[in-house]
Amino acid sequence: MKDHRTTPARELAAPNYAVSQASSDKAHGNATRPWFKKPGFILLLSLMLILVTVVAVNATADRGSAISATGDSQSNVEGAPQVETPVAGIGTKVRDGTFEFVVAGVERPGKTLMGKLDETLTAHGEFVVVRVNVTNVGNEAQSPDCSCQLLYNDEGREFEPSPAILSTKEALKFVRRIDPGETVKDVLVLFDVAPGTKVVNIELHDSPFSHGVQVKLS
């Protein structure tokens, strides 16, 4: 009896072999592909990059908002009106170091002032006289003679005592040493300012190194 089993035709077997071989090559390729080229890793890496990008964008936005808020706050602080330190007025006792001062008054004699020995003192601009009662509340004798007694105008400019102060009739009161517990009244402090200057404060010191205390003159 003839065997009816036959070997598949070559043209039918070849396609099956090609498909099988392609699948085998693909599986081998996947198995031997480097880990960093595998689809799963690439997908994970892409997701991580997207997440990092989103976080970075949000952080930048938050930072910009914070900087803007800080800038606005700083602008508001800088734009706020400056409050001046309160100062005492004429007739009020103030103290700096070992001296207690009371400003008794302010005079504007003008261009000239009569000095000692009937000498006429002439200002470059015009004279301003501030009369001060000075009490020594310390333990040692001390003089109020100091170029640190400062006069201020309405623009904040300061003026030191005029050298002509030593030629005034009251010069001795300015340079004498005041004993502890003693009060010297009407110590004259003389200034030479531009005509029409609006004087507002005087800053009094017991020495060139003290902080000083301000008194309103107007």
CATH architecture of 93-216: Sandwich (2.60)
Residue 34's pLDDT is what?
A: 53
Radius of gyration of the CA atoms of the chain, in A: 47
Buried b (16+ CB within 10 A) or exposed e, 56-78: eeeeeeeeeeeeeeeeeeeeeee
Q: Please list the residues that pair with 106 across neighbouring strands.
A: 130
Furthest C-alpha separation in the chain: 168
User: Domain residue spans in the chain?
Assistant: 10-79, 93-216
| Confidence (pTM) | 0.61
The residue among 83, 97, 77, 173 whose CA lies nearest residue 133 is: 173
Residue 66's pLDDT is what?
A: 47
- Tens of each residue's pLDDT in the chain, 218 residues: 444 454 444 444 444 544 455 555 555 555 555 544 555 656 666 667 777 676 665 655 555 554 454 455 454 545 544 445 557 999 999 999 999 999 999 999 999 999 998 899 999 999 999 999 999 999 999 999 999 999 999 999 999 999 999 999 999 999 999 999 999 999 999 999 999 999 999 999 999 999 999 999 98
